[in-house]
Amino acid sequence: MQNRFLVDERWFYKVCMGRHRTIPDDEIYAAVRRLLAEGGEKAVSFATVARVTGLAAPTLVQRYGSRDGMVQTALLAAWDELETRTAEADATSSLSAKGAVQFLKLLAGDDPASVDLSLLASDLRDPTLRKRASAWRETVEAALAVRLGGGAKGHEIAAILFAAWQGQTLWQTAGGRGFKLKEALKRLD
Query: What pLDDT digit, counting tens, does each position of 34-49 carry?
Result: 888 888 888 888 898 9
Return the closest-CA partner of residue 71 out of 147, 131, 125, 108.
Answer: 125
Instruction: State the residue range of the domain holding 54.
Output: 1-65
Residue 116 has pLDDT above 60, yes or no: yes
Asked if residue 158 and residue 105 are part of one domain, the reply reads yes
Asked if residue 79 and residue 55 are part of one domain, the reply reads no
Q: Which residue has the higher pLDDT, 31 or 19?
A: 31
Asked if residue 166 and residue 134 are part of one domain, the reply reads yes
**Single pTM value for the model:** 0.73
Q: How many CB atoms lie within 10 A of CB 174?
A: 7
User: Coil, helix or strand for 111?
Assistant: coil
Q: Which residue has the higher pLDDT, 188 or 129?
A: 129
Q: Classify the phi-psi angles of 96: left when phi > 0, otherwise alpha if psi is within -120 to 50, otherwise beta.
A: beta
Asked if residue 55 and residue 37 are part of one domain, the reply reads yes
Residue 162 to residues 36, 45, 118, 168: CA-CA distances in angstroms? 24, 33, 14, 10
Residue 78 has pLDDT above 70, yes or no: yes
pLDDT at 93: 92
Classify residue 182: in a domain, yes or no. Answer: yes
Domain end marker among 35, 65, 95: 65
Specify the number of domains making up the chain: 2
What does the alpha-carbon distance between residue 165 and residue 74 come to, in Å, rounded to a whole number? 24
Classify residue 70: in a domain, yes or no. Answer: no
Q: How many CB atoms lie within 10 A of CB 176?
A: 12
* Those residues with Cβ within 8 angstroms of residue 111's Cβ, 6 or more apart along the chain or in another chain: none
Average pLDDT over residues 86-94: 93
Average pLDDT over residues 61-78: 88
Residue 113 has pLDDT above 70, yes or no: no
Asked if residue 188 and residue 160 are part of one domain, the reply reads yes
Residue 6 has pLDDT above 50, yes or no: no
Classify residue 14: in a domain, yes or no. Answer: yes
Classify residue 161: in a domain, yes or no. Answer: yes
Q: How many CB atoms lie within 10 A of CB 108?
A: 15
Domain end marker among 15, 39, 65: 65
Q: Which residue has the higher pLDDT, 22 or 42?
A: 42
Domain end marker among 12, 35, 65: 65
Classify residue 177: in a domain, yes or no. Answer: yes
Q: Classify the phi-psi angles of 130: left when phi > 0, otherwise alpha if psi is within -120 to 50, otherwise beta.
A: alpha
**Cβ distance 29 to 77 under 8 Å?**
yes
pLDDT digits (tens, 9 = 90+) for 125-155: 788 888 988 999 999 999 999 998 888 888 9
